[in-house]
Amino acid sequence: MSMRILHERFAGIPLTHVNCIFPGAGSCLDPGGRRGLTRTTLRLMFAGARGLSNAELNGRLERLGASMGYSLANDHLALGMVTLTENLDAALDLFLAAMHEPNLDAQEFQRLKADALSAWQADREESKSLKAQEVYLHETYRGGPQGYQPDGTLDGLHALDLAAAQDHYRALFGQAEPFLAVLTDLSREEAERRIAQRIAPPPGKSLGNPWAGFQPPRPAGRRVLLLPDPGTETDEIVLGGFTAAETGPDWHVHRLITLLFGGDMNSRLFRVVRGERGLSYGASCWYEAQHGHCPRNQVSPFTLYTFPSAEHTAEALPLILSLYEELVDKGFTAEELQRGRETLRRSHAFLSDTPQKKLALQAQEALYGIRVDDEATNRAKLEATSEADVLRVLRATHDPQRLTLVLLGDPERVAPLARKVPGIEEILTIQYPGP
Amino acid sequence: MQALPPFSYFARFPVHGFRWPNGFQALLVHNPLAPVAAFLTHYTVGSASEGESERGLAHFFEHMMFRETARLRDGDFDRIMAEAGGVGLNASTSYDTTQYYVSVPAESLARVIEVEADRMVNLRLSPDLIEKERGAVLGEMRMYKDMPSDQFYNALMAAAFQRHPYRHPIIGYTEQVAAFGTADFARFYRAHYAPNRALVLIAGGFDETEVLRLLDVAYGNLPPGAPRPEPASADPPPRVARRVELTHDKVSSESLYLATHTPGLAHADLPALSLLASVLSDGRSSPLHRRLVLDGLATSASCGVLDADYPLVSPGLFLVNVSLQHGVAAERAEAVWDALLVEYARDGIPPAEIERARNQVRLGTYSSLQTNMSLARQLGGFWVACGDARFGETLLERLLVVTAAELQRVLGAYLAVPGRIAVIQRPGAGPGSGAGAAAFGADAPAGAGA
């Protein structure tokens, strides 16, 4: 019995990357009140196994020229290992120990919990944008499990205990059939024999799927969330709402919209906010599914972001709203659209220019059923897209009057600015439980 | 043009170098996985090239390179790159170099070469555009001011270097950046942007004959400028310890930097120092990680050699960086470090630790060869720092044969020295957060809609 394997060969680089991917086993499975449990459980798995301590297990692995770890998204996770291919068999044995025989011991758990709490705070002390975008997603999903960050919440981390992590380990891997993604200098046949035939997933049980039947919340107007941060040099503006899924027939139009409105240095947001007015170092937009914040086959929020110098926020806030309104009202000019077509046509090669990216495309198809268009289809779709098509899609999926807006800054300065936003449904001041 | 001796980087990537009579150089790195290429231009100018009244000008100037030239209006450069299918268009300024980079389909290299050569010599520096860009630069500076780690790092470099320009923040000082005028930019452009101050690296799958022809047409006849200035004299390593403490109102736990001076990238001891950094902190089983992180004192602990990490033209620092757990004083980590040095100096370094470090360095090096841009960065960075694009491979070869005795010797010579710099950042009093009306983090049922 062998696990399903996705394989790409990188000849000449003597490394083997093994990722065991578990669809459905994401941080959205964190129980309410224990946000951060999945991540802590994964960290605990790699902190000692088969009776070996953390230092012993990782010492043996690292002497082989290997390391292991995990990546955690809201809707799936991957247990991963990379090793010098010459030591693949021995490294894989230790990786399997972490997967199947983790110690899950109390001392490591307490250390990891303290570590997670300190790191959670430190990350937000360093990055205001992390705080602002965390609040934005949480509020856009109206507190649902889909809108939480994998590193959890301060209260959730405080509430963790060892028994919960041990229980979570026993259940977590039973959500859907896992598969392997392997990047190696070995042939597919050898990877099958030496990797896929040796790996079996840990047991588990179904914990439900919070994404099943998910209906995006739609605000009645503009919800404004004030995130007080006294004395900041720059403020944070994050806004947006649910729009479209990558599985829809118009996704190529949405790619054009993202690119031309805020996808690069030549986009409208960047050009106006930074280039023409010098209000902020950056201004951009994206679909959250493209940033890995939600499954790529679900309707995802379209997000606009800028971080103006504090004295420029009064100008930047109404400007970014009016640029979004103008976009949905008028779309793009023929010249802009032609530029977008050229860019997406010519840059298509970068979707698959390395073995890593080819493997990622295979994994994307396995996870979400999404297959990237080939070069000819991509070109044909772009060439067939008119200004009217863009406007139709914008008006059908975007609504600048119904969105979530997070404004981080000194409360005395930004609160009056927030009250001037037209069409407000409600203004809330967020009591952020961290820095 | 003259062909430079070819080589094969890590026996996998053929590299062909060329030098033109005007001093312009190009390295063509062949990696024919796909018909795309990383295009990277290094200029041998960075913040260490600035005069006392120019702090931050190299970085500000980097921004202006995306504006207008005698041939291109403001916005044209970005538009052309986008239409060429360019991805990841950006630039960065470091201590000794300024890099401009983009990845493009091979079919677009002609256009990229044309506009890159154009902005090397034809930049227009209008007061209006300088003012517009100043807003973005000042915004960037203010963004960094909100990051505690930035102030912490700046304090380290100011303490470690008392004369050498590495002591100044790359981004400069607000008062000077706010005052730079057109004449400052024009002078800087004339002094530092010219074909003999540039190296172009193209890495990927492309037709070398055609690319060489394009480079020759675009760059071959540009007039050379002034030669690269000699680097500033290295600071002598301090003879006594330096200690700096600072507070920040937005941190809740302490952080520690420990630094000692290194002999420079080209010095024979550099491979041993690099391996020693890996011995001490590479991996979860490394002694520093075990004694600080696994023992519950810190959330992270790492060592590095700035000379090779940047890389640097002038001698840099061996650096230890520790983020403490809440409530743990930085002095406890300092004591752990001191005890570790004493132990290793007395007992030597266990062979298993050396084996781990060697294999971890191999793992890291091979991992860094997997994209065209990282290949270009490696080769170009070492070319700027020591004139040897192949240095990354040479460093690995030398590092893998470093002996335990050599490690012990460099530990004594460069780490266990009296002139150590310690910088500690602690939580300090600051303004509190405002009162609110909604608690963040409250759960709602799964799949809730409205």
| ipTM for this prediction | 0.93
Mean pLDDT calculated for residue range A43-55: 98
Check whether residue B21 and residue B75 sit in a common domain.
Answer: yes
- Nearest residue of B to residue A435, measured between CA atoms: B250
Check whether residue B203 and residue B281 sit in a common domain.
Answer: no
A416 has a chain B CB within 8 A of its CB: no
Per the domain annotation, does B237 fall within a domain? no
Q: Is the pLDDT at B436 greater than 80, yes or no?
A: no
Check whether residue B211 and residue B268 sit in a common domain.
Answer: no
Check whether residue B179 and residue B282 sit in a common domain.
Answer: no
Per the domain annotation, does B122 fall within a domain? yes
Say whether A343 and B433 touch across the interface (CB within 8 A): no
Percent of chain A whose predicted confidence (pLDDT) is above 70: 100
Which candidate from B372, B432, B443 shows the least CB-CB separation from A143?
B443
- Nearest residue of A to residue B363, measured between CA atoms: A65
CA–CA gap between residue A175 and residue B232 (Å, rounded): 61
Which candidate from B252, B290, B437 shows the least CB-CB separation from A428?
B437
CB contacts, 8 Å: B149 with chain A: 126
Distance from B314 to chain A by nearest Cα, in Å? Answer: 30
Q: What is the CATH number of domain A5-196?
A: 3.30.830.10
Question: What residues have CB less than 8 Å from B323, skipping those under 6 apart?
Answer: A118, A122, B253, B255, B298, B299, B300, B301
- Model confidence band, residue B434 (pLDDT cutoffs 50, 70, 90): very low
Distance from B108 to chain A by nearest Cα, in Å? Answer: 9
Q: Is the pLDDT at B449 greater than 70, yes or no?
A: no
Q: Is the pLDDT at B433 greater than 70, yes or no?
A: no
pLDDT digits (tens, 9 = 90+) for A290-330: 888 889 999 999 999 999 999 999 999 999 999 999 999 99
Say whether A429 and B75 touch across the interface (CB within 8 A): no
List residues bridging with B201 in a β-sheet.
B27, B40
Say whether A111 and B436 touch across the interface (CB within 8 A): no
pLDDT digits (tens, 9 = 90+) for A21-38: 999 999 999 999 999 999
Domain that holds residue B19: 2-219
Q: What's the confidence (pLDDT) of residue A20? A: 98
Check whether residue B147 and residue B30 sit in a common domain.
Answer: yes
Question: pLDDT averaged over chain A?
Answer: 96
Q: What's the confidence (pLDDT) of residue A219? A: 93
Looking at A229-233, A331-335, B24-28, which range is the least confident one? A229-233
Say whether A229 and B433 touch across the interface (CB within 8 A): yes
Per the domain annotation, does B308 fall within a domain? yes
CB contacts, 8 Å: A266 with chain B: 75, 78-79, 81-82
B24 contacts B195 by C-beta, under 8 angstroms:
yes
Interface mutation vs chain A, best among B363, B373, B375, B425, most A CBs within 10 Å: B363
Check whether residue B210 and residue B249 sit in a common domain.
Answer: no
Say whether A347 and B283 touch across the interface (CB within 8 A): no
The total domain count for chain B is: 2
Q: Where in chain A do CATH 3.30.830.10 domains reside? A: 5-196, 222-429
Check whether residue B215 and residue B246 sit in a common domain.
Answer: no
Q: Is the pLDDT at B440 greater than 70, yes or no?
A: no
So what CATH class is A222-429? alpha beta
pLDDT digits (tens, 9 = 90+) for B255-300: 999 999 999 999 999 999 999 999 999 999 999 999 999 999 999 9
Check whether residue B59 and residue B164 sit in a common domain.
Answer: yes
Check whether residue B289 and residue B148 sit in a common domain.
Answer: no
User: Quick one: tokens of B287?
Assistant: 């002694």
List residues bridging with A280 in a β-sheet.
A308
Residues B336, B341, B346, B347, CA torsion sign:
positive
Per the domain annotation, does B432 fall within a domain? no
CA–CA gap between residue A69 and residue A57 (Å, rounded): 13
pLDDT digits (tens, 9 = 90+) for A140-198: 999 999 999 899 999 999 999 999 999 999 999 999 999 999 999 999 999 999 999 99
B446 has a chain A CB within 8 A of its CB: yes
Which candidate from B147, B252, B445 shows the least CB-CB separation from A435?
B252
Give me the CATH number covering residue B252: 3.30.830.10
Which candidate from A82, A275, A353 shows the least CB-CB separation from B34?
A353
Contact residues, A window 331-390, toward B, CB-based 8 Å cutoff = 339, 342-343, 345-350, 352-356
Q: Is the pLDDT at B443 greater than 80, yes or no?
A: no
Check whether residue B423 and residue B281 sit in a common domain.
Answer: yes
Q: Is the pLDDT at B450 greater than 60, yes or no?
A: no
CB contacts < 8 A (A, B): 279
Q: What's the confidence (pLDDT) of residue A433? A: 83
CA–CA gap between residue B150 and residue B155 (Å, rounded): 9
Nearest to B326, CA basis, from B429, B244, B255 = B255
Mean pLDDT calculated for residue range A222-250: 95
Mean pLDDT calculated for residue range B145-172: 96
Check whether residue B302 and residue B206 sit in a common domain.
Answer: no
Distance from A393 to chain B by nearest Cα, in Å? Answer: 22
Contact residues, B window 49-88, toward A, CB-based 8 Å cutoff = 66, 74-75, 78-79, 81-87
